[in-house]
Amino acid sequence: MISTSTDIKPFDVGAIRKEFPVLERKVKGKDLVYFDNAATAQKPQVVIDALVNYYHQYNANIHRGIHSLAEEATAAFEATRDTVKEFINARYREEIIFTRGVTEGVNLVAATYGRQNIKEGDEIIISGMEHHSNIVPWQMLCLEKKAKLKIIPVDDNGELMMSEFQKLISPKTKLVSIVHASNSLGTINPVKEIIDIAHQYNIVVLVDGAQSSVHLDIDVQDMDCDFFVLSSHKIYGPTGVGVLYGKKELLEEMPPYMGGGEMIKEVTFDKTTYNELPYKFEAGTPNIADTVAFKAALDFVNEVGKDNIRKHEEMLTKYAMDKLLKIDGVRLIGTAKHKTSVVSFIVEGMHPQDMGILLDNYGIAVRTGHHCCQPLMNRFEIPGTVRASFAMYNTKEEVDELVKGVEKAIKLLK
Amino acid sequence: MSRYLDMTIQRVIIKFKSKYFERGMNVVQTIQETEDEIAEEFALFDNWEDKYEYIIDLGKKLQPLDSKFKVEENKIKGCQSQVWLVADESDGRIYFKADSDAVIVRGLVSMLIRVLSGHTSQEILDAKLEFIDKIGMKNHLAQTRSNGLLSMVKQMKNYALAYKMKEQLNG
């Protein structure tokens, strides 16, 4: 429907930047330097076009209408499901459930699989570097079921202490929910190893792919995770769309999450039979427009090539870490061997928020604070960090701007 | 540099005024007058860096709150930085002391204290605090800033309201 008219091979950051209209804008009179990609990535023109085109040309409710617009909308919506299936290499298209995002995906599993399978005294294992969205739903479930939450500790480099993981497993352990790549440190966790170990004890594993999906090649079959969640907006797609992948046999056994339209087969006042997968978990009119446009984002990423993106981001990450470390007083938080393009740091004696306010005035968008990872910040005994996270459109020159900004901010704050 | 000297002189004058006030001489200026005074001070700055340098300086100079006051019940939790606020009442006037773990917020807190502290509950409740907008710092009171500053302003007004109600009950 929309042609992706990008001519950006071999990797040409200048050409890529032209695809992202927002990068042309000024902030406080300066060229925008957008380094908050781990919070949300900017959108290429093809995604914006796909979104607008949907509303211009074929807005209709999906799956039930028999008119042409409904058919076109349904086809576009379902095409995204197929693209997601390929993107994460799922076995079946019905294993792809659309959600509002990672948070909803985790909550869905906790409220359905969790409620059905976690009993009093059972144990759930998460890690010390989880985002609040992969802590709170399990805490709520544990509270309800009188189950126990156990935490894999994190070492000084920001890596999981895998030897401790083994020790945490007990016959009571029923589920492991683990972040693939940390949003605040960038650490890439050895999820395959975790899954292998867990499966030896018949423990189900959910992998939080919020940060990993945009950087790493995702193969849920090879990984052998039971559940995998991701968000569109971190992969250059629209906000408000996410994906829950689940192994078909698990999804089939799970009770529905929400009741309503779309998820039913037959409703009488006595009894309702539920629709089949994936619709059983997609009650109500979904976020059609954003889901449709999400496909354009995935196509775009595929076209640029994750390998190319990764190489570019790795170069930027290394460059930024080297340069920042040369500044007196800078301490990097999260120095794992395997990292996504996240550089988290603090400056001795300075509050991350002060740094963030001043950097904003230099036109540099970074994230400051605890990054929704308060337990992790407590572990490092810091109130938060300054986090720069890089995407395919960022440049070395922008990193230079950040370094200059940090130096100037330090002078002001001293 | 001379601009900086100006500021210093201004601050000396302010200190002088507050000393007068402490001696019980009724020359305390109105909230509006202090607001105008701050707006005038900031009008001297022609770039944002000087402005922030001044706020950071105010932050550093703000008398730290005694650690015994830095307790949970005085804490106004922001998402990123914390603010502690205590209020005292004497002779019908309310006095504020506050602190923060981030220095820019401390600077802003220091200005709020300068404007509101030492006034009656009604005066505090009526305060428009338009100077924050005038000096270009309104964004720090936005919800997104999550620095507890907006909650601090609300809390200052809440204290004023509480004292006013107490006065009415006693009166």
Q: Do A352 and B80 touch (CB under 8 A)?
A: yes
Q: What is the pLDDT of residue B24?
A: 46
Q: What is the pLDDT of residue A405?
A: 97
Give the nearest chain A residue to B106 (CA atoms): A354
Residues in B closer than 8 angstroms to A357, CB to CB, are 52, 104, 140
Is residue A354 less than 8 Å (CB to CB) from chain B? yes
Mean pLDDT across chain A: 94
Least confident residue range of A96-110, A155-169, A224-238, B81-95: B81-95
Over range B83-89, report the average pLDDT.
92
- Sorting pLDDT into bands at 50, 70 and 90, what band is A80? very high
Percent of chain A with pLDDT over 70: 98
Instruction: Please tell me the distance in Å from A362's CA to the nearest CA on chain B.
Output: 10
Least confident residue range of A9-13, A40-44, A252-256, B64-68: A9-13
Q: What is the pLDDT of residue A114?
A: 98
pLDDT at A2 over 80: no
Q: Do B102 and A353 touch (CB under 8 A)?
A: yes
pLDDT at A332 over 70: yes
Mean pLDDT across chain B: 83
Over range B61-85, report the average pLDDT.
87
Q: Do A351 and B49 touch (CB under 8 A)?
A: no
DSSP labels, A375-411: HHHHHTT-S-EEEEE--TT--HHHHHHHHHHHHHHHH
Amino acid at A127: S
Q: What is the pLDDT of residue B17?
A: 53
pLDDT at B171 over 80: no
Q: Which residue has the higher pLDDT, B126 or B169?
A: B126
Give the nearest chain A residue to B78 (CA atoms): A369
Q: Do A412 and B52 touch (CB under 8 A)?
A: yes
Interval A238-284: pLDDT, tens? 999 999 999 999 999 999 998 888 788 888 888 888 889 999 999 99
Q: What is the pLDDT of residue B9?
A: 54
Least confident residue range of A162-166, A168-172, B73-77: B73-77
Q: What is the pLDDT of residue A413?
A: 93
pTM of the entire predicted model: 0.88
Residues in B closer than 8 angstroms to A354, CB to CB, are 56, 102-104
Residues in B closer than 8 angstroms to A361, CB to CB, are 48-49, 52
pLDDT at B19 over 50: no
- Sorting pLDDT into bands at 50, 70 and 90, what band is A370? confident
Helix, strand or coil, per DSSP, at residue A304: helix
Give buried/exposed letters for A350-366 (b at 16+ CB in 10 A, else e): bbbbbbbbbbbbbbbbb
- Give the contacts of A67 (CB within 8 A, at least 6 positions apart): A60
∠B1-A402-B143 over CA atoms, to 5°?
Answer: 85
- Give the contacts of A167 (CB within 8 A, at least 6 positions apart): none
CATH 3.40.640.10 describes domain A50-302: yes
**Distance from C-alpha of B134 to C-alpha of A264, rounded to nearest angstrom:** 57
Sheet strand arrangement including A96-99: A96-99, A242-246, A227-231, A204-208, A173-179, A123-127, A148-152
**DSSP, res B64:** P
Q: Which residues of A are catalytic?
A: 372
Interval A138-160: pLDDT, tens? 999 999 999 999 999 999 999 99
Alpha helices in B44-148 (DSSP H): 48-61, 103-116, 121-126, 131-134
Interval A41-70: pLDDT, tens? 999 999 999 999 999 999 999 988 789 999
Q: What is the pLDDT of residue A162?
A: 96
**Distance from C-alpha of A213 to C-alpha of A229, rounded to nearest angstrom:** 9
Is residue A287 less than 8 Å (CB to CB) from chain B? no
Residues in A closer than 8 angstroms to B103, CB to CB, are 350-351, 354, 413
pLDDT at B11 over 70: no
Q: What is the pLDDT of residue B2?
A: 47
Q: Within its chain, how far is the Cα of A232 from the centroid? A: 8
pLDDT at B31 over 90: yes
Is residue A132 less than 8 Å (CB to CB) from chain B? no
pLDDT at A137 over 90: yes
Domains of chain B and any CATH numbers? 2-170 (3.90.1010.10)
Q: Do A369 and B103 touch (CB under 8 A)?
A: no
User: Pick from A370, A383, A412: which is nearest to B53 by CB?
Assistant: A412
pLDDT at B86 over 90: yes
Least confident residue range of A75-84, A221-230, B27-36: B27-36
Would you list the domain boundaries of chain A? 13-44+305-413, 50-302
β A367-369/A330-333 pair status: unpaired
Neighbours of A210 (CB within 10 A): 27
**Distance from C-alpha of A63 to C-alpha of A75, rounded to nearest angstrom:** 9
Instruction: Please tell me the distance in Å from A366's CA to the nearest CA on chain B.
Output: 13
CATH topology of domain A13-44+305-413: Aspartate Aminotransferase, domain 1 (3.90.1150)
Q: Do B80 and A368 touch (CB under 8 A)?
A: yes
pLDDT at B27 over 70: no
The tokens describing A163, both together, are: 């030897």
pLDDT at A1 over 50: no
**Is the ipTM here above 0.90?**
no
What is the 3-state composition of chain A as percent helix, strand, coil, each rounded to the nearest 5? Answer: 45, 20, 40
Cis, peptide link before residue A278, omega less than 30° from 0: yes
**Distance from C-alpha of A284 to C-alpha of A262, rounded to nearest angstrom:** 6
pLDDT at B5 over 80: no
Is residue A105 less than 8 Å (CB to CB) from chain B? no
User: Counting Cβ atoms within 10 Å, is residue A229 exposed (0-12), middle (13-18) or buried (19+)?
Assistant: buried
CA-to-CA separations, B134 to A7, A146, A341, B35, B129, in angstroms, rounded? 48, 54, 39, 9, 9
Is residue B53 less than 8 Å (CB to CB) from chain A? yes
pLDDT at B145 over 60: no
pLDDT at B146 over 80: no
Instruction: Please tell me the distance in Å from A144's CA to the nearest CA on chain B.
Output: 27
Over range A364-392, report the average pLDDT.
90
pLDDT at A9 over 80: no
pLDDT at B167 over 90: no
